[in-house]
Amino acid sequence: MIGKLKGILDSYGEDFVVIDVNGVGYVVHCSARTLQALPAPGEPVTLAIETHVREDQIRLFGFTADVEREWFRLLQTVQGVGTKVALAVLGTLKPADLATAVAMRDKAAIARTPGVGPKVAERIVTELKDKAPAYTDVDPAVVRLSGAVDERRAPAPVADAVSALVNLGYGQPQAAAAVAAAARTAGESADTRQLIRLGLKELSK
C-alpha cells in the first residue's frame, strides 16, 4: 500500500498529476485545491497518498497534508459520498473550514461544492458531527450551543439573540458562535439585548 510519494512532478492532467519516482510515473488524482498548490512540472513534490485497490484497477489519491487525507477518508464514510464527491468537497473547502462547517452544522458551506446537494450536505454534517471537533479549533462549547440552538433547546435569551443576528443578515452558524462567545463573557444571567450587543462585537472582530 502506497502512503507517500516523493519525486518530480512530471505533468498535469484535468484532475490528476503524474509524479516521476525514480523513472516510474505514478498517476495521482487530486482535488482542485491540491492541484493549484502544486509546483510546476520538473519541480520536486511530496504527496500523502491514499491507495484504492479494486479488482480491475489501482487508483492513487494525493494530498498536500495528512489531515486532508484523513478528511478524504472520513467523507467517504458518509452514505452517498464517494471519491469524486470527497475530492470536490476538499477542492471547495480547506480542511479547517470543512471541520468548522461540520462542527457548526453549516450545511450551506458544504452545499457550495459542485455536485453536492442539500441532502448530501445534511448527511455530511450529521454523520461527521462527532468526529469534526478533533480536526478543528472551534470551541466545543460553541459547537454544543450551536447544536442546542439548532435543535431549539437553547435558553430563550440565547435563541432570541441568535434569531436577531440571523435577521440582521448573519449566517446561523456564525450567529450561534458569536452568541455562544457572548454568553460565556456575560454569564447565564445575560438578557437578549446584552447578548445581541456582545454578539455583534464578536462578529466585528
pTM for the structure as a whole: 0.66
Distance, CA of 43 to chain centre: 29
CATH of domain 66-135: 1.10.150.20
Taking only the tens place, the pLDDT of each residue in 109-168 is 899 898 888 899 999 988 887 765 455 555 545 544 554 444 444 567 888 888 888 888
Q: Rounded to the nearest 10 degrees, what angle do helices 83-92 and 95-103 cross at?
A: 100
> Candidates 3.40.50.720, 3.30.70.20, 2.40.50.140, 1.20.120.1770; correct CATH number of 4-63?
2.40.50.140
Taking only the tens place, the pLDDT of each residue in 78-94 is 988 999 999 999 999 98
Taking the C-alpha atoms of 86, 90, 91 and 96 in order, what is their torsion angle to the nearest 10 degrees? 170
Q: What is the band of 178 on the pLDDT scale with cuts at 50, 70, 90?
A: confident
Q: Where in the chain is the domain with CATH 1.10.150.20?
A: 66-135
Q: Where in the chain is the domain with CATH 2.40.50.140?
A: 4-63
